[in-house]
Amino acid sequence: CVSAHVYPVRMVVFIQLWETHTCVFSLQSDYHFEYTECDVLESRWRVAVPNKADTCTGLPDPVKGTQCTFSCSEGEFLDMQSQQCEQCAAGTYSLGTGVAFDEWDGLPTGFVTHGVTLNAWNAHTNCSNSTWTPKGDYVASNTDECTATLSYAVNLKKSGTVSFEYFYPDSSIYFEFFVQNDQCQSTESESRWVKISETNWSKYKVELNKGNNVLYWRTTTYTLQGSAVKPVLLKNIAISGVAYTSECFYCKPGTYSAKPGSARCAPCPADTYSTKGATVCHQCEPDKYAEASSGSCKPRPACTNSDYFYTHTPCDSEGKTQLMYKWIEPKICTETIDGAVTLPASGEKQTCPPCNPGFFVTNSSTCEPCSDGFYSNGTACAKCPVGTESVVGFEYKWWNRMPNNMKSSIYRQEFSDSEYRTAWEVAGEYVYTTPGHQDTDYLMLTLSVSGYRLPQSMAKDSDMSELSRITFVFETLCSADCERFSLQGYNQFNNDVVEHWKGSKGKQSYSYLVQSNTTLSFTWTFQRTEDFSTDRKYSADVAKIYSIHITNVIGGVASQCRRCALSSAKADSACVPCPPGHYMVSGTGVCESCPSNTFIRAEQSIGKAACVQCGPNTKRNKAYSGCVSDCMMAVQMSEGALLHYDFSALTNVTGFHSSPRFTIRGLKYFLRFNVGLCGKEGRVPATCVGNVTESQKEVKGYVCRSTVVPSEIRSQSMVSSQPFIIGDSLIDFYVRHVCDVSRSSETTQACKNGRSATIRLRCNPTVAAKDHITLPSNCSEGTCDGCTFHFLWQSQHACPLCTKNHYREIVSACIQGIQKTTYVWQQPLQCYGGESLPAQKVNACVTLDFWLKFGVSTGAIAAVLLISISCYFWKKTRKLQYKYSKLIMTSGSKECELPTADSCAIMEGEDAEDELMDLTKKSFLTKIRSFSRERTSDGFDSVPLKSSSRHQREEEDSDDVYIRD
């Protein structure tokens, strides 16, 4: 039913509708007003819309509405009838141009949550139930390995903001908030970081642009240890910049607004309650109680021994303290029910415990810290003697009152606003956990420090590994699955777990090193059980801390003085340290030089035991605080060969991953190892980071490890978490198979002596890559016990440098007067670098034909010469034989007498036969006849004998003529 004068051209159509529907003119409650969409001139119309479908009412005519940019202030709403801003009534509230969401009994209209996995390889994991869960006052994220997203779409008519309160206590969860605009462009990745909560609830506010905006809250858990994870909590989400607010919202139960025009509703205090839209809070009946912001009261249970705790008052002027019993606040139990216990009587006086070391007792029996340069055992302060320095820190072993730098608090997942509750209380000899309101509460004790500083005698050697050490003695008495954590971080909520224990633990001590000067707090947390189905069943379970000792704290106190070296400095100087490389002789203040190639142990500088010998193939650094290797070494082998190694190519930091691993839920992850093998001083150490939160954690050393999870969040392909040092000092560097051993001074409950790593280098000339490092096949994480790690690094750079002994030469045949010499490596090749393979040599040579001819000629000449020599010696032999025969014939019958000379013309010693010359040439027949005479028929030679008769000689030698020379 529309007036004809407004839309006359549509009269025919409405006449037809008139025939099928009954027109009833109703009251104003049958319709409501809305604005049309804004046009290009930023104007709009106010129109009436029926509240019931298919109902035709007597609707008012459309009228021109307010400008699109019009808005009301906080605590006001737009009255559509008058188009004016009106104040909200008491019991209601308004944000003006915004909307607020503070009730989370269910997801408010417009919010969507779903759980997915961002990794395609893990698509089989069911994440449908991994969503944000409403918890009444807030909405909580998931704590598993799926990615849970909470989103809300809003259209802003002008620029506005979104603000919310969050509680983000666990660094094992990645939490990001970002906005997508009309073009689906997201917030820059750098601005998506949400900081870890420093208090129970933190506030976050982001500017929003005009137009469509989709808000996203997204969480992903990265925990591989199976420990409980605290979820992210959200509440009080408020968005400004919407078109208008045409109504006020009622205050939710547990809150109220007493005055008109409220922008927020105030929470009801404890033991009061309120219903929806309340203007006041109502007091609970005496036999009932209510926590803050409660919508109803609960019956009070009977009081038990778990509903109170004991503590001590400060010491009075008489040195006495009173034992006091107190109800746990807020008190919810009643003493009037049968079987209820009453509070024990307080006021029993006891002698005050001594002051802690470094403090002294004042006239009022209070404990005050000693001044700088003074020390104390807990009674009175004394000045450190000349030549000594105070050893500052905090040592708490008497607990009359909670130290000023310590604070106890409770974290509760279901209701975290519990600052007024007591978690830890002092009890003289120890501090203990009080019975909690719920057994699932986290009872936290936090020690805050302002930083660390080495003693003056060690300040110059800034490379000392022990910056500070914390030691504490504790005990847990549990009947359930209680759990205790020791944490280190920036505050009580932004912490990294150092160690955790489960179940009852006898009195024991635990110690670990502090190596980063950015650590500002230590937190001890105790939880009785993780089972939410129980209600104060294990209140008697307790954790106790007997003593806490932390060294080298800025602003600390001294319990003793350490003697340092004496020199020519002024007598009133604080302390003169020993020169680098020197130790102090105990009790004398005299410095002695450490042996060569030793360094000074960081935790000890007195006595010769402070000098530590560097391992093989290492040398001390300039600060005398450790050993380094320059990656060069020479090794004398058993067979006498000298091998030289050069690992310079492996000095840069090398990283590698383990094989893929999976959690119970199917989350894929890798173990990332970074190795900085060796190098000169000033080298870049191996660094591992944890980048889950905005406060990135870094650890540096020779070997470190972190856990890497493939992910698509934050526009990154990898998220790294849980970094720790495996080795931060070099022990030795030796060769059998080449090994590099390093050790970490950081101890854990499982590794009492710290972690250590052995890197075994293997020569493999075929491996060109520098990072071919593998883990043991039987220990896929690199370690079987969590303390000792082993790595196998195969590389061509792990081979010894090549020398002449690693190649041989091959000489070819002489071909056409040319002979080649080629050099080849010995196989298998076990060297790299060093001497290069010599180039091929080419030499001139003589062919085989020449040598054959030369050999034949030489052989012929040798044969002729041999024959000649043989003939000569044969003839000579014949002459000697003749001379001998002649000598025998002329010797006479007497033995041993020499014959007399035949002629006086022959001088003694001369031989007439030696000088005979044959002047006649014998005929061939004569020679035959002579030969025949020489040998008789009986086979013996016939030798002519000389006669003294001249006639006989002439007859026998008538044919021969001799001239005596």
Q: Give the CATH number of the domain where residue 481 resides.
A: 2.60.120.260
pLDDT score, position 226: 53
Alpha-carbon dihedral angle through residues 166, 170, 172, 178, given to the nearest 10 degrees: 10
- Segment 793-841, tens digit of pLDDT: 888 888 899 988 888 889 888 887 788 899 998 888 888 888 888 899 8
| Whether residue 203 sits in one domain with residue 184 | yes
| Whether residue 548 sits in one domain with residue 433 | yes
| Whether residue 694 sits in one domain with residue 547 | no
The dihedrals phi and psi of 298, each to the nearest 5 degrees, come to -115, 150
The mean per-residue pLDDT over the stretch 5-27 comes to 38
Task: In whole angstroms, give the CA distance from residue 831 to residue 474.
Answer: 57
Is 603 within the bounds of a domain? no
Work out the number of other CB atoms within 10 angstroms of the CB of residue 364: 11
Please state which of the ranges 177-186, 361-370, 467-476 shows the lowest mean pLDDT: 177-186
Domain count, the chain: 6
Residue 456: Cβ-neighbour burial (10 angstroms; 0-12, 13-18, 19+): middle
Is 239 within the bounds of a domain? yes
SS3 911: coil
SS3 387: coil
Q: Which amino acid is at 364?
A: S
| Whether residue 62 sits in one domain with residue 200 | no
- Segment 194-210, tens digit of pLDDT: 887 755 788 889 888 88
Is the pLDDT confidence value at 193 over 70?
yes
Query: Do 514 and 393 contact (CB within 8 A), yes or no?
Result: no
**The most confident of 7-21, 133-147, 701-715, 934-948, by mean pLDDT:** 133-147
pLDDT score, position 762: 87
pLDDT score, position 257: 94
- Segment 128-146, tens digit of pLDDT: 888 999 988 889 998 888 8
| Whether residue 399 sits in one domain with residue 318 | no
Of all helices (H) and strands (E), which one includes residue 875?
Answer: helix 848-889
Is 217 within the bounds of a domain? yes
The dihedrals phi and psi of 924, each to the nearest 5 degrees, come to -65, -40
Is the pLDDT confidence value at 677 over 90?
no
| Whether residue 143 sits in one domain with residue 28 | no
Is the pLDDT confidence value at 420 over 70?
no
Task: In whole angstroms, give the CA distance from residue 946 to residue 690.
Answer: 129
Structure tokens at 748: 């854990």
| Whether residue 360 sits in one domain with residue 334 | no
**The most confident of 117-126, 179-188, 241-250, 688-697, by mean pLDDT:** 241-250
Q: Which residue has the higher pLDDT, 182 or 359?
A: 359
Is 660 within the bounds of a domain? yes
Q: Which amino acid is at 421?
A: R
pLDDT score, position 111: 93
Is the pLDDT confidence value at 922 over 60?
no
| Whether residue 390 sits in one domain with residue 467 | yes
Which residues on neighbouring strands pair with residue 668, listed in sequence order?
Answer: 662
Of all helices (H) and strands (E), which one includes residue 931?
Answer: helix 924-934
Is the pLDDT confidence value at 462 over 60?
no
In the block, tokens 């041989």 appear at 808
**DSSP assignment of 131-170, as one string?**
S-EE-BSSEE---SSSEEEEEEEEEESS-EEEEEEEE---
| Whether residue 390 sits in one domain with residue 505 | yes
Is the pLDDT confidence value at 598 over 50?
yes
Query: Do 683 and 653 contact (CB within 8 A), yes or no?
Result: no
| Whether residue 787 sits in one domain with residue 640 | yes
- Segment 529-588, tens digit of pLDDT: 877 655 677 888 899 999 999 988 888 899 888 776 554 444 445 566 677 777 777 656
Percent pLDDT > 70 in the chain is 76
Is 266 within the bounds of a domain? no
Is the pLDDT confidence value at 489 over 80?
no
What's the number of CA atoms in the CB half-sphere (13 Å) around residue 109? 1
| Whether residue 656 sits in one domain with residue 749 | yes
Closest CA to 761 of 733, 730, 726: 733
SS3 869: helix
Is the pLDDT confidence value at 297 over 90?
yes
- Segment 436-451, tens digit of pLDDT: 767 888 888 989 888 8
The mean per-residue pLDDT over the stretch 36-43 comes to 78
With cut-offs at 50, 70 and 90, classify the pLDDT of residue 888: confident
With cut-offs at 50, 70 and 90, classify the pLDDT of residue 714: low
Q: Which residue has the higher pLDDT, 695 or 399?
A: 399
Alpha carbon separation from 131 to 134, 698, 711 (Å, rounded)? 10, 32, 18
Of all helices (H) and strands (E), which one includes residue 324?
Answer: strand 320-327
pLDDT score, position 199: 59
CATH of the domain at 713: 2.70.130.10
The mean per-residue pLDDT over the stretch 280-288 comes to 92
**E-assigned strand segments in 269-307:** 272-273, 282-283, 288-289, 298-299
Is the pLDDT confidence value at 123 over 60?
no
- Domain around 432: 353-560
Q: Which residue has the higher pLDDT, 567 or 484?
A: 484
Is 929 within the bounds of a domain? no
Is 337 within the bounds of a domain? yes
Structure tokens at 931: 């030969």
Task: In whole angstroms, give the CA distance from residue 386 to residue 158.
Answer: 73
With cut-offs at 50, 70 and 90, classify the pLDDT of residue 417: very low
With cut-offs at 50, 70 and 90, classify the pLDDT of residue 965: very low
Is 729 within the bounds of a domain? yes
Which of 243, 266, 292 represents a domain boundary (last residue)? 243
pTM for this model (two decimals): 0.62
pLDDT mean across residues, the chain = 77
Task: In whole angstroms, give the CA distance from residue 741 to residue 915.
Answer: 98
CATH of the domain at 229: 2.60.120.200
Query: Do 217 and 235 contact (CB within 8 A), yes or no?
Result: no
Task: In whole angstroms, give the CA distance from residue 751 to residue 226.
Answer: 20
What's the number of CA atoms in the CB half-sphere (13 Å) around residue 232? 32
With cut-offs at 50, 70 and 90, classify the pLDDT of residue 847: low
| Whether residue 381 sits in one domain with residue 527 | yes
Q: Is the dihedral of CA 932, 934, 935, 936 positive or negative?
A: positive
pLDDT score, position 747: 63
pLDDT score, position 358: 92
- Segment 63-122, tens digit of pLDDT: 888 877 777 888 888 888 888 888 999 999 988 888 888 888 889 888 999 888 765 555
